C-alpha cells in the first residue's frame, strides 16, 4: 500500500489496520532474519505541525531467525507499539525512518521496523552451545588479564611535560 504525504490532512489521521505480505522479499542481506511469515500493522498516520508525519502504531510479526548458537532456524514473535517519525530527509528533525519523496510504501516501513527489532544474537529457548566446544571459546574468570598489555606509547613521557611553561 502506497501512502502519499499530501493525502493526510492535519487533524485528520489515516487509520491503519493491514496485513502486510513480506515473505517474498529478498532476505539474503538481513541475517539473522531469514523470513517474515506474517506481519500486521494497526494504528494511525497523522500530520503534525509543519507537515511532520508520524505513525503511532502497533506492528506484530512472526519471523524466522537463525539461531546464533546453532545456526538452525526458529520462529520468533515481534510486537512493537511505538510512535515513529516518517522523515523525508536526514536533515529533518526527529527520530524515525527516512522515506524521500511524497510516497511511503507501507511494506517498506513495516519491514524497516521489523529489521530494527531483531535481536543481535537471537537464540531459541531450547538452544544450547555445542558440548564439543566447536565454534566458540570459554574463558575462565580473570584469564583476560593473563595476556600482556601492549606497551603504552605515552608511558615514557615525563609527568610535567604537558604543564604550561
On whether residue 161 sits in a domain, the answer given is: no
Task: Return the C-alpha cell found at 5.
Answer: 504525504
User: For the chain, how many structural domains are there in total?
Assistant: 1
pLDDT of 157 reads 72
C-beta separation of 18 from 41 below 8 A? yes
Q: Could you tell me the residue range of the domain that residue 44 belongs to?
A: 2-116
| Residue that has been written with the C-alpha cell 502504531 in this structure | 57
What is the distance between the alpha carbons of residues 115 and 35, in angstroms, rounded to a whole number?
11
On whether residue 43 sits in a domain, the answer given is: yes
C-beta separation of 64 from 52 below 8 A? no
Q: pLDDT: is 38 or 103 the higher one?
A: 38
On whether residue 87 sits in a domain, the answer given is: yes
Vertex 90 angle, CA 87 and 92, to 5°? 60
- Looking at the DSSP assignment, which residues form a beta bridge with residue 97? 86
On whether residue 154 sits in a domain, the answer given is: no
On whether residue 39 sits in a domain, the answer given is: yes
User: Of 60-74, 89-103, 122-136, where does the model show the most confidence?
Assistant: 60-74
**pLDDT (average), residues 66-74:** 89
On whether residue 151 sits in a domain, the answer given is: no
Tens of pLDDT, residues 106-159: 999 999 999 999 998 898 887 776 666 666 666 666 655 555 566 666 666 777
On whether residue 105 sits in a domain, the answer given is: yes
Amino acid at each position: 500500500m502506497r501512502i502519499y504525504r499530501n493525502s493526510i490532512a492535519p487533524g485528520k489521521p489515516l487509520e491503519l489496520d493491514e496485513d502486510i505480505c513480506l515473505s517474498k522479499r529478498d532476505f539474503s542481506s538481513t541475517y539473522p532474519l531469514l523470513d517474515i511469515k506474517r506481519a500486521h500493522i494497526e494504528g494511525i498516520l497523522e500530520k503534525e505541525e509543519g507537515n511532520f508525519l508520524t505513525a503511532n502504531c502497533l506492528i506484530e510479526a512472526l519471523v524466522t531467525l537463525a539461531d546464533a548458537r546453532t545456526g538452525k532456524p526458529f520462529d520468533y514473535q515481534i510486537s512493537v507499539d511505538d510512535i515513529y517519525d516518517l522523515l523525508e530527509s536526514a536533515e529533518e528533525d526527529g527520530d524515525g525512518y527516512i522515506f524521500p519523496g511524497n510516497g511511503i510504501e507501507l511494506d517498506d516501513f513495516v519491514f524497516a521496523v521489523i529489521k530494527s527489532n531483531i535481536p543481535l544474537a537471537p537464540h531459541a529457548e531450547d538452544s544450547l552451545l555445542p558440548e564439543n566446544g566447536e565454534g566458540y571459546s570459554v574463558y575462565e574468570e580473570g584469564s583476560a588479564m593473563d595476556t600482556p598489555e601492549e606497551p603504552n606509547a605515552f608511558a615514557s613521557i615525563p609527568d610535567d611535560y604537558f604543564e604550561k611553561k
